[in-house]
């Protein structure tokens, strides 16, 4: 079994673009992460991970991030929504309890129709069939807060799994899969890197690395992977990338700048990534 894992975290439209930029920049430096034996995707990372696992060319997908965002619907995670997420998490003792609280917020929010949002996700994915390579896509049950991991064996359409993982609470509608409503996998962790347990070589791309309350961030999950003996490299946005993101990770007009920033910072991360991957 291939012992490598590529973990792709959440971070909105700018996170998607930044991850493609980092992947393209690492390829420039001779480090090809698309060969990963396991791909784990959360939210933005689910969009990128589905395409990586299906073998789509990195350079092609990077170029797509540079295109004008015509027809894209801008959105915003406002301060009020962020405050409600934080309050829900900080009042909770477990990730599941926090997920249920955040799920209630999502179910009560006024958003675009679910079918409309699913169509956006379908349009972002050039492929709609699960790859044979192991791909794990994360989500959270909106009513119970239970962690859900979608994969090929569950019989869930790939578009539905990605839509569930990208259902940002309070911004987009919860996604219905098999009669169950789901919200963004980031409601459990922004990266869910613990799903790479058992792999010996792991690289994590984390546009939003911090957790809060019982929602584990990248640092603690990576520390546990290392404790188990894995070699792990983590790439998070540098100062230039954070400026490129701006104040709204869901703004399509920031996509091209985020992609370029990811590619530019990859050279500085290439040595550490190569050491973990090699």
Residues labelled catalytic = 43, 184
Other Cβ atoms closer than 10 A to 74: 12
Contact predicate 30/4, CB 8 Å? no
Tokens 């379908």 map to which residue? 122
Residues 6+ apart with CB under 8 A from 148: 138, 139, 140, 141, 164, 182, 185
Other Cβ atoms closer than 10 A to 137: 32
Around 27, how many Cα atoms within 13 Å sit in the side-chain half-sphere? 16
Sign of CA dihedral 257, 237, 128, 96: negative
**H or E segment and range at residue 181:** strand 180-184
- Distance, in Å, from the CA atom of 40 to the CA atom of 134, rounded to the nearest integer, reads 9
For residue 232, the cross-strand partners are: 202
- Distance, in Å, from the CA atom of 33 to the CA atom of 255, rounded to the nearest integer, reads 21
Around 270, how many Cα atoms within 13 Å sit in the side-chain half-sphere? 18
DSSP 8-state symbol, 185: G
Other Cβ atoms closer than 10 A to 8: 33
């Amino acid at each position: 079994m291939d012992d490598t894992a590529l973990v792709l975290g959440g971070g909105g439209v700018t996170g998607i673009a930044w991850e493609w930029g980092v992947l393209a920049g690492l390829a420039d430096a001779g480090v090809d992460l698309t060969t990963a034996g396991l791909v784990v995707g959360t939210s933005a990372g689910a969009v990128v991970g589905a395409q990586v696992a299906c073998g789509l060319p990195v350079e092609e997908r990077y170029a797509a991030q540079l295109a004008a965002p015509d027809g894209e619907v801008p959105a915003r995670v406002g301060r009020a929504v962020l405050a409600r997420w934080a309050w829900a998490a900080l009042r909770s003792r477990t990730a599941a309890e926090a997920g249920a609280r955040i799920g209630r917020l999502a179910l009560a929010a006024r958003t675009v129709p679910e079918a409309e949002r699913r169509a956006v996700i379908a349009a972002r994915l050039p492929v709609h069939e699960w790859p044979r390579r192991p791909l794990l896509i994360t989500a959270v049950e909106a009513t119970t807060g239970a962690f859900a991991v979608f994969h090929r064996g569950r019989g869930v359409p790939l578009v539905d799994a990605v839509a569930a993982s990208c259902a940002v609470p309070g911004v987009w509608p919860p996604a219905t899969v098999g009669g169950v409503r789901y919200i963004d996998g980031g409601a459990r962790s922004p990266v869910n890197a613990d799903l790479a347990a058992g792999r010996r070589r792991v690289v994590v791309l984390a546009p939003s690395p911090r957790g809060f309350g019982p929602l584990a961030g990248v640092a603690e999950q990576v520390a546990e992977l290392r404790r188990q003996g894995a070699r792990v490299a983590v790439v998070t946005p540098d100062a230039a990338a954070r400026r490129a993101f701006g104040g709204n990770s869901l703004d399509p007009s920031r996509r091209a700048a985020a992609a370029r920033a990811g590619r530019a910072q990859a050279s500085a991360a290439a040595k550490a990534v190569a050491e973990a991957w090699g």
